Structure 1
């Protein structure tokens, strides 16, 4: 479509390209934050439902364990640049998460510690002075 020597289609393409360039760049930290936030939200939502939400809780707990398995593998890598003490703490939290999940599934523990841990991780990923 041409209007007074102006190609509307080219304008749309240029505008779309500019929007892609001007979109904020995702960082690994922000991606990790989003994943932890989604899993944590699913855990909370399922827990609020009580007994009827148990299948959703099982699914969310499974995904939370996959997340913590990934964290544990990452901090166990000798090439990981995080300080050794922080890596050890994250690995310990992963182990605690696995044990707490088993207890939750058996009806012998509450989900609150898992939510607290994930929330603390989100605060750490967000960094000081950033909202969230």
Structure 2
């Protein structure tokens, strides 16, 4: 029987968490691209914005936790990015902008930075 060390288990846990984060960000990007392609404020836009807001609100909640292992500066920067995305989602919802591409670009950078 193979025994896993605590470090190996924790490393696998972090890798799994990052993989899940990449997956949800990829899904958000896909939905935002579909909304952008559809044009206007329609069902695709509503679905994309709802999903994207849920993702980034959850990230903020996680980043605010004291047990989050990212350094404080990185956590603060990610929270700032999340707030910007949430504000852009709200501006799209209010039909003040159609900046899906800006959200897609920033989300892609964050997703690609997860390693």
TM-score range, shorter chain: 0.7 to 0.9
Aligned partners of 1:100 and 1:114 also within 8 Å: yes
Alpha-carbon distance between aligned partners in 2 of 1:46 and 1:97, rounded to the nearest angstrom: 16
The structure with higher relative contact order (CA 8 Å, sep 6+) is 2
Aligned residues: 101
Where does the alignment leave 5 or more consecutive residues of structure 2 unmatched?
A: 1-12
Under a length normalisation based on structure 2, what TM-score does the superposition of the two structures give? 0.81
Larger radius of gyration: 1
> 1:105: Cα distance to partner?
1.3
**Equivalent of 1:66, from 48, 54, 63?**
54
Deviation at 1:47, TM superposition (A): 1.1
| Structure 1: tracts of 5 or more residues without a match | 1-24, 128-132
Are positions 1:96 and 2:94 aligned together? no
Looking at structure 2, the residues matched to 104 and 111 of structure 1 have their Cα atoms a distance apart, in angstroms, of: 8
Q: CA RMSD in A?
A: 1.6
